[in-house]
Amino acid sequence: MFCVRCGAALPEGAAYCASCGAPVAAAAGGPGAPTPTPFPAPVAEAPHPAFGTEVYGGFWRRFWSYLIDRFVLGVAFTPVGILVFAPMVATESVDWTASDLPAEALGAFLGAVLTVAFLALLGSWLYYALLQSSSRQATLGQLALGIRITDLEGRRVSFARASGRYFAALLTGLTFGIGYLIMFLTTRKQSLHDLIAGTLVRR
C-alpha cells in the first residue's frame, strides 16, 4: 500500500503517512480517493527569452535608423547654426574672406563653433534619452525600422539608463567601429554601449 500524495510505502494499520501526513483512508483507495501517483508528472519549462523567442535588431536596421535620426537632428539644428553664425558673418567691420583675420574675429568664430557644438550635443542627448525612455522606447529612426530599446529583462529603460547608453555610444564611436561590430560576437547582438548600459535592441 502506498501514499497517494508522496508515493511512500505505508505499513499495515497506519492512520497517516509517516512522510507527508496524508490520511491512510485516502491511501487505501476509499470512496473518492484519487489514483495513486508516486511520481509527479514533469512540467515543461518556458523557453528562455534569449534562445529563439526574442528577435534582436540587426546591423542594417540599426544603421538605417541611425541615418534617419542624424537627418532629423540635422534638419532641427540647421536653424540653430544659422542663428548663431548669421549675426557674426553679417558684421561689416570684419572681412571674413581675408587670410589674416584679427584675433577678435577668430575668437568670435571659435566661440560660435563651440556654442553650436554644445547645443548639438545637448539636443542630441535629449533626443535619444527622452525618446528611448518614453512609452515608444525608440527614436524616430528606430520606430521607422521597427526596433526599440529595452533593459535586459525587456522592460522600458529609465531616462538615466538611456542617457548612459547615449554617452556610452560616444565611447563606442571612438573605437573605429570595433565597438559596433561586437554585436556579431554577442548572443543578443549587443554593441559595446549596450553592454556598458545593460540594454538590448529588440524588434
pLDDT at 136: 94
* Grid cell in block for residue 96: 571674413
Instruction: Write the single-letter amino acid at 41.
Output: A
Q: How many helices (H) does the chain have, and how many strands (E)? A: 7, 2
pLDDT at 102: 63
Per-residue pLDDT of 28-64, as tens digits, reads: 444 444 554 554 544 444 444 444 456 899 999 999 9
* Grid cell in block for residue 178: 570595433
Per-residue pLDDT of 118-174, as tens digits, reads: 999 999 999 999 999 999 999 999 999 999 999 999 999 999 999 999 999 999 989
Q: For the full predicted model, state whether its pTM sits above 0.85.
A: no
Average of per-residue pLDDT values in the chain = 81
What are the Cα distances from residue 126, in Å, to 26, 120, 121, 130, 133?
A: 67, 10, 9, 6, 10
Which residue ranges make up each domain of the chain? 1-43, 55-202
